[in-house]
Structure 1
Amino acid sequence: MPDLKLVSSEANSPRVAEFFAGIGLVRMGLERAGFDVLWSNDIEPDKRDLYAKQFGPSDATANRSHTFDLGDVGEVTAANMPEDLALAWASFPCTDLSVAGARAGLHGTESGTFWEFTRVLRELAAEDRLPAVVGLENVVGLATSHGGEDLAAIVRELNVLGYSVDVLTLDAKRFVPQSRPRLFIVGSMETPELAVGDDSALRPDWLNAVYADPTLRMHRAALPTPPLPLASGFSDLAERLPADDARWWDEARTLAFEQSLSPVQRERIEALRAAPTTVRRTAYRRTRKGVPVWEVRADDIAGCLRTARGGSSKQAVVEVGGGSLQVRWMTGVEYARLQGADDYDIAGVRDSKVLFGFGDAVCVPAVAWLGEHYLMPQVRAASRAGNEWPRLAEVG
């Protein structure tokens, strides 16, 4: 795992407002890249509580360097925004965009809050305070939602605001042992140096459609090749719980787990149990032909973390080898580690609250990589250009 240290925010650090902030993992990543996050918003009190535990208390009335605005994004206005913003970030809800959901898309109640984010941007544009760069993050299902129309609508909206747009995908497993592909959208007022040659590591073929649309103002920024995807690492990352820890499932529950496995899965587990070395694998509960079953990953990478609001979304850990097999739920400590937030303060917090906060968050080192190699260079370029952006009325 990369050894990333927090960069102390200085007076001249580019200023950021983060929408849909959750527990603040985007803030951690951006601070590692040298940004100063001054304002954050989220609607979930439990997430705000974790945020405050990590970063210190903050509210919308106190005279502090950071404000956490707890409430509906629909109530946020440009008046809430700090002055001289360089970057606005929005990890807007994926609920209506994920292939696992009903896919209402940007018309959905939750994912449709994207339009509240751009409403605030429009208000800032009317006051000549539009940030030089915007960053969006969501599931890769956004690229195919409504046949690609939702992604095109997002690009079109940012174009109206004056931004040229880039779309790329980055998987958390390039930094931590968790399979978590995500889509990142970057809007820039200054057109960056364009990519030359193969950029398929960040922009695979399935993103070509949005770039091929002649009605959209797009660019492909020249970026370094990100780290290669990890092929292992979860066994080393997993917590070491003693054999008598109460979190291990009892004999009856473990037997039921084994009996739910398919023949192929059972053969895999038996081979691992017979090996002299103990390894750890993750498992999800699935429904196959109407029957709940457990499926164990074949590799040493965790599956994508989810918000643990239902049993099927929780991930189990299987510790197997040397003739033994033990199973338990993944812990909050492991969730934090898999999001690259080893130093997050979760002491004394219930695991259910930790899993809820980390399950739909953004991988810290992925944000830090994007911040260092893309967002910060764009902000610096805009600063050198004098921040003379087109007004909304001129581009809309």
Structure 2
Amino acid sequence: MPRTFYEFFAGGGMVRAGLGENWVCLFANDFDRKKGETYKRNWGQDHLIVDDIRNISPEEMPGRPDLVWGSFPCQDLSLAGGGAGLKGDRSGTFWPFISHIQALRDESRAPAIIALENVLGTLTSHGGADFTAICQALTDLGYTYGAIVADAAHFVPQSRPRLFVIGVRNDMSIAPLTTTDEPKAPWHTNGLKNAYNRLPHDLQKNWQWWKLPKPKKRTSKFADLVEDNPASTPWHKPAETTLLLSMMSEVNLAKVETAKASGSKMVGTIYKRTRHEHGIKVQRAEVRFDEIAGCLRTPAGGSSRQLIMVVEGSKIRSRLISTRETARLMGLPDTYELPDRYNEAYHLTGDGVAVPVVRYIAQHLFEKLINEIEPAKNREQA
């Protein structure tokens, strides 16, 4: 029996890609027209509504989904954001999302599972008050819940830790071996444990420590994903690479010298960051050659676009990371169609959910939980 889902804040449909062919999308929504066009190019337009989440009505959401996923905007919860939290214009769309779940519940169509994804700043936003509000909202809807922190680096060469809050309807049996009595690494970090400890006692009583197996060691490295001749961005001219090197501190220049002396092709990634040195602001190019890319971010400015540097002996080349490389870092196949414009493609991938992380959670948690529902359905029909 196929499993069904809704995907709110769907972007380019990366959650759909991660869930896989055994899951059927009943409804998808995003307010961004450009992302919606990419979604349609890859998945068709059936079940997709491009509109503000506040404008969606229950009649537009068909069936009774097994899973409702919501990767609500992170800007107001991010440590780099303005700190508005769940009261902000963007992250505050969490509340219309919850209202839709309530509407489904009123019509006896509440999903078996709710999955929320966001940045780790969610755990500490407003001293933990926003995380408490999320747990309270799930409690009020009639869900038992817990959370995990999953880093995409377990599966792809990109450092991308994210929080996943997963709620299960109270009337469901929770599958054996999907919970543990105590937090376990790597899924339950100190930050998550601290957030749990800050919850009021009545919310702690409704908590589950979800259990997933430890992932196998990743074998891919960033250099494996790099294009020799990308179509989306050119290699820098030598003067541009020299300028980039001039922006490096002694520590970062030493990394480049070590790469040159290695005797092999070394591929690093660079972010430009503003640092305070001797009382003044200085823009620095900070490089890493640890075979993993930095976390992709949406391109709000030149400093937030990741660059790459390829070192082969004394030869050094640099350029912006290509859009196909960003897609590969998110676990998307090369058959996935990206927007033609560089910034649109970078924004789409930088705003998404790593595909193999979704697949892992679905395989080791969602599908085990839903398998417990199906026997109960069959008994009711008998």
Structure 2: runs of 5+ lacking an equivalent: none
Distance in 1 separating the partners of 2:104 and 2:209 = 26
Q: CA RMSD in A?
A: 2.0
Question: Which residue number in structure 2 is paired with residue 393 of structure 1?
Answer: none
SS of the aligned residue for 2:337 comes to coil
Question: Which residue number in structure 2 is paired with residue 47 of structure 1?
Answer: 35
The alignment covers a number of residue pairs equal to 365
How far did residue 347 of structure 1 move? Answer: 6.2
SS of the aligned residue for 1:134 comes to strand
Distance in 2 separating the partners of 1:233 and 1:108 = 37
Question: Which residue number in structure 2 is paired with residue 205 of structure 1?
Answer: 190
**Mapping 1:9-88, distance limit 5 Å:** 12-31=1-20, 34-56=22-44, 58=45, 66-88=46-68
Question: Which residue number in structure 2 is paired with residue 309 of structure 1?
Answer: 300
Of all paired residues, the percent bearing the same amino acid is 37
After superposition, the Cα gap between the structure-2 partners of 1:347 and 1:130, relative to the gap in structure 1 and judged at 3 Å, is: closer
TM-score between both structures, scaled by the size of structure 2? 0.91
Distance in 2 separating the partners of 1:160 and 1:344 = 42
Distance in 2 separating the partners of 1:179 and 1:210 = 22
Question: Which residue number in structure 1 is paired with residue 274 of structure 2?
Answer: 287
Q: Which amino acid aligns with 2:6?
A: A
After superposition, the Cα gap between the structure-2 partners of 1:199 and 1:311, relative to the gap in structure 1 and judged at 3 Å, is: same
User: Is contact 1:231-1:301 (8 Å) kept?
Assistant: no
How far did residue 310 of structure 1 move? Answer: 1.5
After superposition, the Cα gap between the structure-2 partners of 1:348 and 1:27, relative to the gap in structure 1 and judged at 3 Å, is: closer
> Is 1:135 equivalent to 2:123 in the alignment?
no
**Which of residues 79, 89, 112 in structure 1 aligns to 2:69?**
89
The range that moved more, 335-344 or 323-332, is 335-344
User: Is contact 1:178-1:302 (8 Å) kept?
Assistant: yes
After superposition, the Cα gap between the structure-2 partners of 1:281 and 1:162, relative to the gap in structure 1 and judged at 3 Å, is: same
**Mapping 1:346-361, distance limit 5 Å:** 346=337, 349-361=340-352
Question: Which residue number in structure 2 is paired with residue 6 of structure 1?
Answer: none
SS of the aligned residue for 1:29 comes to helix
How far did residue 270 of structure 1 move? Answer: 1.6
User: Is contact 1:18-1:40 (8 Å) kept?
Assistant: yes
After superposition, the Cα gap between the structure-2 partners of 1:387 and 1:262, relative to the gap in structure 1 and judged at 3 Å, is: farther
TM-score between both structures, scaled by the size of structure 1? 0.88
How far did residue 147 of structure 1 move? Answer: 1.2
After superposition, the Cα gap between the structure-2 partners of 1:375 and 1:360, relative to the gap in structure 1 and judged at 3 Å, is: same
SS of the aligned residue for 2:309 comes to strand
After superposition, the Cα gap between the structure-2 partners of 1:209 and 1:347, relative to the gap in structure 1 and judged at 3 Å, is: closer
Distance in 1 separating the partners of 2:297 and 2:233 = 24
How far did residue 51 of structure 1 move? Answer: 0.8
Distance in 1 separating the partners of 2:270 and 2:353 = 21
How far did residue 232 of structure 1 move? Answer: 6.2
User: Is contact 2:183-2:209 (8 Å) kept?
Assistant: no
How far did residue 223 of structure 1 move? Answer: 2.3
Q: Which amino acid aligns with 2:272?
A: R
User: Is contact 2:86-2:94 (8 Å) kept?
Assistant: yes
**Which of residues 206, 224, 230 in structure 1 aligns to 2:213?**
224
How far did residue 239 of structure 1 move? Answer: 1.0
